[in-house]
Homo-oligomer: A and B are copies of this chain.
Amino acid sequence: MLPNPDEKLDPRVKRTRGLILRSFEDLLAEKNFETISVQDVTDTAQINRATFYAHFQDKYALLDYSISQMFKQEIEKRTLNACHYTPDNLRNLILAVCEFLGRIHTSCAQPHQQFESLVETQIKQQIFGLLSHWLEQSKSKVPSEIPATVATWAIYGLASLYSHTKKRPALEKFVDEALPLVAVNLEQFA
């Protein structure tokens, strides 16, 4: 739906980016983001360090890209990118964000402030883009920026709460309880 810019790419580029991404995600599982050097990534990816810089400005850009790719996959898996606003789709989106963030917090070694804030920025950007896309398809011509922003922050906040909870409650139950509070501001787009 949203334009897919990866198809017509030089195979060498696809391969290299894939290697970098895979290595980075593997490394994130063992060490925390701050202690991962570009060297570490290129060593485990078995590519040259200079090649890394041909693709990413630095490791922060890599993190941004990595997070957004993973999240995009999560969304595509649930085909949330090819639909419009309904309470049920919203419910699935909240579920997706909770699970995604939950997975990050269990599979990445001790997340740190900087790491978390970069993740937050990326994910919120994606949620906002998706919601805007949904709302603009509605017959209602109400401007969507403000409702989409409110919903985006609310959703991320819920997922953050969920993923930081030590003993996580049953996800479905959690989402069903929270859903109405988010949906109330979007009813006009249903």
Contact = CB atoms under 8 A, between A and B. Distances in A.
Interface of A: 11, 14-15, 46-48
Contact of A11 (B11, B15, B47): B47
Contacts of A47: 11
A136 B86 CA distance: 79
Contacts of A11: 46-48
Shortest beta-carbon contacts, A-B, top 5 = A11-B46, A15-B46, A11-B47, A11-B48, A14-B46
A7 to B, nearest CB: 13
A108 to B, nearest CB: 27
Contacts of A14: 46
A8 to B, nearest CB: 15
5 contacts: A11-B46, A11-B47, A11-B48, A14-B46, A15-B46
A66 B47 CA distance: 24
A19 to B, nearest CB: 8
A47 B48 CA distance: 19
Nearest to A15: B46
A158 to B, nearest CB: 40
A178 B66 CA distance: 57
